[in-house]
Amino acid sequence: MSGARAKEAPAAAARSPALLLTGRRLEGLPIIVVFFVLIGIFTACAPRVFLRWPIYDSFLVTIPPLLILSLGLTLVVAAGEIDLSFPAVIQFSGFLFAFCSLQLGQPWLGLAAALAGGALVGLVNGVLVAVVGVPSIIITIGTSFFWSGVATVLCGGLSYALTDLQATPIANIFAGTLFGIPAEAFWALGAAVVGWFILNRHRFGEHLLFIGDSQTVAQVLGINVVRERIKLFTLMGVVAGFASFLLTIQNLNYFATQGQGMLLSALAGVFIGGSSVFGGSATMVGSVFGALIIGMLDAGIVATGVAGFWVEVIVGLVFIVAVVLHIGIENPARLKQLRRRLAFRE
């Protein structure tokens, strides 16, 4: 019996460090570290900007729409899918909101219309992906053109000034300030908490993770893959509709091309954060910090005095380094292999 014990002990010792790493690791830790390192670098390069509040205040205004998009996309990526149509939702839903506010004088109806419009776009995506079986990366390119076109036709290429909404309740609630902090920041924080619970604690989130892991397994386990995917894309549409509303109400302006620049940024936020491109594993905390990094780099780099042209170069570098880092953490064997190959060359 003591012999059996002795045999067990080394095996347990060999496994437990790995367990500590996988089970107890703080979610999104590597990217949180990267975030603070970046803040440190910015502060060192431009202390006059980064040791004062205004820059952070402006971050808390500009980042939330992007961050909310990244949260929605995290669920999409968890299920092994992708959605490229959210910039079109930003155009379409933004138009619906602007139209209801300006032409009908009903901003709250406009908010409902923005969310419903997003849901419609998402529902169509979901049905095409889940029922018809078109890969989401393909079909959302198509629907993206379509809805963006619809928005352009409807607004006639014009922009809508919504300055009348200034200081109305809806503007105060969504784009005012609370305790000196921009309201958008609270909405983004709320969305992040809800998103985390959906992904990690709700049945729906678990179904998405299993679908992303393997569709066959999900089916065999009794998960209704078709229904969950339709729900997923519809939810993503609603999230994009809300982001669009937020963007429009904070600018008090709708213009036909809004949201065009957000496609890559929002996706970059998700992948910098450490969610797996292959599906089945995703992190909301990572996406929050990923979006913060992406949103911060632009203003940050300019503030440090580097010419604005360099922004994209640096964003690209951060993205590549982060994604490689995540693969290394997820799959150390791959890094070891790489090292061996490099050693062999020498």
Instruction: For the CB of residue 220, give the shortest distance to other proteins in the complex, in Å.
Output: 5
Instruction: For the CB of residue 214, give the shortest distance to other proteins in the complex, in Å.
Output: 7
57 binds other proteins (CB under 8 A): no
Burial of 8: CB neighbours in 10 Å, binned 0-12, 13-18, 19+: exposed
Specify the 3-state DSSP secondary structure of 261: coil
Binding string, 168-207, against other proteins, x = CB under 8 A? -----------------------------x---xxxx-xx
For 13-41, give one letter per residue: b (16+ CB within 10 A) or e.
eeeeeeeeeeeeeeebebbbebbeebbee
Residue 56 CA: distances (Å) to CA of 49, 182, 310: 9, 10, 21
Binding string, 12-31, against other proteins, x = CB under 8 A? x-xxx-xx--xx--------
Question: By the 8 A CB rule, do 170 and 249 touch?
Answer: yes
Question: By the 8 A CB rule, do 119 and 241 touch?
Answer: yes
Q: How many residues bind other proteins (CB under 8 A)?
A: 33
Task: Report 260-299 residues binding other proteins (CB under 8 A).
Answer: 276, 280-281
Is the Cβ of residue 146 or residue 204 nearer to other proteins in the bound state?
A: 204
Instruction: For the CB of residue 154, give the shortest distance to other proteins in the complex, in Å.
Output: 37
In Å, how far from its chain's centre is CA 146? 23
131 binds other proteins (CB under 8 A): no
Identify residue 17 by its one-letter amino acid code. Answer: P
For 88-102, give one letter per residue: b (16+ CB within 10 A) or e.
bbbbbbbbbbbbbbb
313 binds other proteins (CB under 8 A): no
Cβ count near 331 (within 10 Å)? 11
132 binds other proteins (CB under 8 A): no
Instruction: For the CB of residue 294, give the shortest distance to other proteins in the complex, in Å.
Output: 25
11 binds other proteins (CB under 8 A): yes
Instruction: For the CB of residue 4, give the shortest distance to other proteins in the complex, in Å.
Output: 9
Instruction: For the CB of residue 224, give the shortest distance to other proteins in the complex, in Å.
Output: 8
Instruction: For the CB of residue 216, give the shortest distance to other proteins in the complex, in Å.
Output: 5
Residue 125 CA: distances (Å) to CA of 13, 132, 149: 49, 10, 16
Q: How far apart (Å, rounded) are the C-alpha atoms in residues 185 and 167? A: 18
Is the Cβ of residue 43 or residue 224 nearer to other proteins in the bound state?
A: 224
Is the Cβ of residue 21 or residue 321 nearer to other proteins in the bound state?
A: 21
Task: Report 209-238 residues binding other proteins (CB under 8 A).
Answer: 209-210, 213-214, 216-224
Q: How far apart (Å, rounded) are the C-alpha atoms in residues 335 and 316? A: 21
113 binds other proteins (CB under 8 A): no
Q: How far apart (Å, rounded) are the C-alpha atoms in residues 33 and 228? A: 34
152 binds other proteins (CB under 8 A): no
Instruction: For the CB of residue 286, give the shortest distance to other proteins in the complex, in Å.
Output: 15
Judged by the rule CB under 8 A, the positions of this chain that interact with other proteins are 8, 11-12, 14-16, 18-19, 22-23, 197, 201-204, 206-207, 209-210, 213-214, 216-224, 276, 280-281
